[in-house]
Amino acid sequence: MTVARSSNVIVRRTPLTTAAIAALALVLLVPVFSAPVSLAHGSSLEELQGVYEQTLHPFDGESVREVDPTSMVGKVLCGYQGWFNAAGDGANRGFHHWTSDAQAPRPGNAVIDLWPDMTECGPDERFATELRHKDGRPAEVFSSFNRDTVLRHFQWMREHGIDGVMVQRFATPLSHDNHLRHTNVVLDHCREGANRFGRTYAVMYDLSGLGPNSMSVVMNDWRELRTRMGVCDDPAYLRHRGRPVVVVWGVGFNRDRAYTVAECGPLVEFLKQDGCTVMLGVPTGWRTLDRDAVAEPLLHDVIKLADVVSPWTVGRYQTPDEAEQHGAEIWKADLAWCREQGLDYMPVAFPGFSWSNLKGAKLDAIPRLRGKFFWSQFVAAKAAGAEMLYVAMFDEVDEGTAIFKCTNDVPDGGPNQFVTYEGLPSDFYLDLTGRGTRFFRDEAPDDGEPPESVTP
C-alpha cells in the first residue's frame, strides 16, 4: 500500500439536487444564535458563557512534534471518550460513566465491562469503590477530569507508537454547565498531552441524543473553541487537506435520532465555510442506504459536502473471517464510491465488544481472541486500500472496546461480571495498535500475518 497517493487528491463536488437544496435551505432558516431546544432543560446562556470564559484559553505550553499533524493519510487514530468521573475529583458529577446511579461502584450498579489497570496511577488519581479484588484490596477507578491521568494516557500513546486521538465532544451535554466544564477541561488535558508527547488530536462532535433544530449548539460551541481556545492554531491539532479537521459523528443513522439528515447539511456547510476539513461518522449502510442507515438519498448529498467518510462498524462483524469479508465486500466498494466523489475514507476497527453490564446483553459478545480479531481488521482495511484508520476506542470500557491498560485481576462485582485481557499484559492492545499502525503504513513486513504475540 502506498499511503501517500491521496495527498494530492483532486477534490470534486457533485452539485446538490434541487430537492436537496430545498431541504437544506429550510434548515438554514434557523438562526445560528437561536437558543437550542435542549437549553430549556439545561443551564442559562449566561452560565454557559461563564464556563467557556473560565475553561477555554489559548495553549502556551511547550510543544513536541513527533507525529506529523498535517495529514490524516497513513494515520491510525483512536477515539477518546474522556467521560469518566469520580466523587471528589472536582467535577461534581459523581462516578459518571462507571455506574448506573453515579454512586460509588458496588455489586450491581457497574455499567462497565472492562476494569482499568490502576497500577501506574498516583495517589490523587485513585478513587476507591465498594468492590474488592480477590485479595481484599478495594477496587479503584480514575477520573478523566484529572490532568495527570489524561497526560499519562498520551504518554502511553507515545510509548506504543499510537498517532493520536479524536476527542469525543457530545453535543447534548454542552447545554449543561457542569458537563460543559468537564468536557472543556478534558479537551484541555488532551491538548496538553498531545503537545507534550508529540501526538495529534482533533475534535469529534457526537450528535447522539441531540434534539431537533439544535445544530446551533455545535456551531456556537465550535466558535468558542476557535476564538477562546484557539484550538485550530494549536501546533498539535490535526489538519488534512490544508485545513483543521472537525468530525461530526452520527449522520444518517436510522435509529434513536431526533434530528434529521437535512439538519446535518447546514452544519457541514458551516464548518466548511469556517475553513475546516469535515469528517462524517456515518452508518455502515450509508452507501447502499440500508441496514443501519436511513433510506434517504439526501444522505449522499450531505456526505458529498464533507471531505472524509467514516462508517461505524462496531458490532457489524464478529469474527476474523467476517472482518475479512466485510473489508473485501463493503470497505472496498465504499472506497471506490468515495474516490469517485473526491472523498477520503476512514474505516473503523475495534478489538472486541461487550456491554453486558450496560445493556444486560451477553458478556464478551464479540471475543477478542487474544488480539486475532483486532489484527484481522488492520489486514482487511489495508487490503481494501484504506489509507487511514480509526480505532474504537482508547478508553471505552462501557462497551468493552478499550485498548488502554486494563487488568485481568477484576473485582468481584456480584451480579456484575467483567471481561479480562485473557491473561495478556495490560498494555497488550496498546502495543498491538502500535504494531498495527506500523504494518498499516508499510513500516513493518507486509505479509498480513499477526505478530508473534497474537499467536498462542
Concatenate the DSSP letters of all residues of 289-341 into one string.
T-TTB-S-THHHHHHHHSSEEEE--TTT--SHHHHHHHIIIIIHHHHHHHHHH
**For residue 389, what are the β-bridge partners?**
76
State the pLDDT at residue 40.
Answer: 43
Residues β-bridged to residue 99: 110
Q: What is the pLDDT of residue 13?
A: 39
Q: Which of 214, 226, 219 is nearest to 187 (CA)?
A: 226
Superfamily assignment of 18-454 in CATH? Glycosidases (3.20.20.80)
313/291 Cα distance (integer angstroms): 11
User: What pLDDT sits at residue 33?
Assistant: 29
Amino acid at 20: A
Q: Is 419 left (phi over 0), alpha (psi -120 to 50) or beta?
A: beta
According to DSSP, the residues that pair with 79 across neighbouring strands are: 166
Indicate the domain borders of the chain. Answer: 18-454
Bond preceding residue 393 cis, omega within 30 of 0: yes
Low-confidence residues in the chain, pLDDT < 70: 1-41, 446-450, 452-456
Q: How far is CA 92 from CA 95, 106, 177, 182, 215, in A?
A: 9, 19, 11, 9, 27
Tell me, what's the pLDDT at 3? Answer: 28
* Distance from C-alpha of 153 to C-alpha of 159, rounded to nearest angstrom: 10
Q: Which pLDDT score, from 0 to 100, does residue 263 have?
A: 98
User: Are the C-beta atoms of 120 and 156 separated by less than 8 Å?
Assistant: no
